[in-house]
Amino acid sequence: MDAHDGGCGLRRVAVVGGGIAGSMISKSLQFFAHVTLIDPKEYLEIPYGSLRSMVEPCFAERTLINHSHYFTNGRLITSPAVDITESQVLVADGRHVVFDFLVVATGHHHPTLPTTRTQRLHQYTSENERIRGAKSILIIGGGPTGVELAGEIATEFPDKAITLVHDGPRLLEFIGPKASDKALRWLISKRVNVKLEQTIDLNDVSDGTTSFQSSKGEIIRADCHFVCTGKPVASAWLQKSILKSCLDSHGRLMVDGYLRVKGRHNVFAIGDINDIRESKQGECAKRQAKVAAKNMKMIMVGKESKMESYVPISPTTAMVSLGRKQAIAQFSFTTMSGILPAFIKSRDLFVGKTRKHLGLHPTLLD
């Protein structure tokens, strides 16, 4: 058993998950409490930079950050959590991490992510080689991931024949039809072949597959393919834990207005794992981490009455990048596309901003 308490009478905080939300709250609390960050990986990946890293692997040098570079005053356990009791997190490597406060920030399930930053960089190099070596590319899924990947490839490699297959009646269904239509027209202008209301049976697809049959019987030939459909939230490990009754029908942890798991005074859930109704973009994860950190501090110092309620970002606000020089932005008052929203997001994809929030230089590597 690992009964490490950090000394100095500090409260013990266990953070499970090292994505944007988990990393931000670990950094925020590391000098206020004894924080243990539990993550299967040695690094944080800034997820909104991942698609550009596929077409430009050197971009990943800034999007992949070893936890030790920003989390300098806590303990890192590189192993997945497997269970939770009233006072401990059980880890796959056999350790039991005692906590006074728990933060669950496991996001979505990504089974293929490697343990080390170096291995992840090699993955991006391999994906880039697949793209460069292909004359034709199939993208399955027309949500933000599929549309942004199509935009990155079409911009960087205009000679590639790209087909995007989406099961819905329009792209980017999480935003309004005007923004969706702008994205469709932009992709068509880049010679991307968009097929709506069709699916590809993924059970018949493997890495070497080059011939794909759509639900309408159409044969699509592609040298390589990328699956960009939604991934389930990473909550299967909670199904037998003390938090199993706190999961909704989608496997998300139900939280109150302070981001505490309902019925739990000392357990918070932030990021994609909770049931807050918003677009679940990186900015939302940052805001949730900030509010949860403040609320935890207020409880620790006996000022629970001063906790802050979390206000979700309006579902009408969203931004989708289309390569380096174009983007679509939807706000509550208007929808725009072109260079202006690209200036806000597409040049750097908010990677430099996120690095600064972690106390790192936006462009220079450590």
**What's the pLDDT score for residue 321?**
93
Question: Which residues does residue 16 pair with via DSSP β-bridges, in sequence order?
Answer: 38, 104
Q: 2-60 pLDDT, tens per residue?
A: 544 444 578 999 999 999 999 999 999 999 999 999 999 999 999 999 999 999 999 99
pLDDT (mean) for 271-290: 93
**What's the pLDDT score for residue 130?**
96
Say what the pTM is.
0.93
**What's the pLDDT score for residue 4?**
44
Taking alpha carbons only, the member of 241, 235, 270, 296 closest to residue 101 is 296
**What's the pLDDT score for residue 8?**
55
Q: Which two tokens stand for residue 53?
A: 């890293």
* Residue 48 identity: Y
Please give the C-alpha separations between residue 54 and each of 57, 91, 183, in angstroms, as whole numbers: 6, 32, 21
What percentage of the chain has pLDDT greater than the value 90? 83
pLDDT (mean) for 93-121: 96
pLDDT (mean) for 86-100: 98
pLDDT (mean) for 295-306: 97
Measured on CA atoms in the order 39, 365, 270, 253, is the torsion positive or negative? negative
Beta strand 219-221 pairing with 211-213? antiparallel
pLDDT of residue 242 exceeding 80, the answer is yes
What percentage of the chain has pLDDT greater than the value 70? 97
**What's the pLDDT score for residue 7?**
47
**What's the pLDDT score for residue 346?**
78
Can you give 110-155 as a three-state secondary structure string? CCCCCCCHHHHHHHHHHHHHHHHHCCEEEEECCCHHHHHHHHHHHH
> Is the model more confident about 118 or about 314?
118
> Is the model more confident about 348 or about 338?
348
User: Predicted confidence band at 337 (pLDDT cuts at 50, 70, 90)?
Assistant: confident
pLDDT of residue 241 exceeding 70, the answer is yes
pLDDT of residue 266 exceeding 80, the answer is yes
Q: 182-203 pLDDT, tens per residue?
A: 999 999 999 999 999 999 998 8
User: Predicted confidence band at 1 (pLDDT cuts at 50, 70, 90)?
Assistant: very low
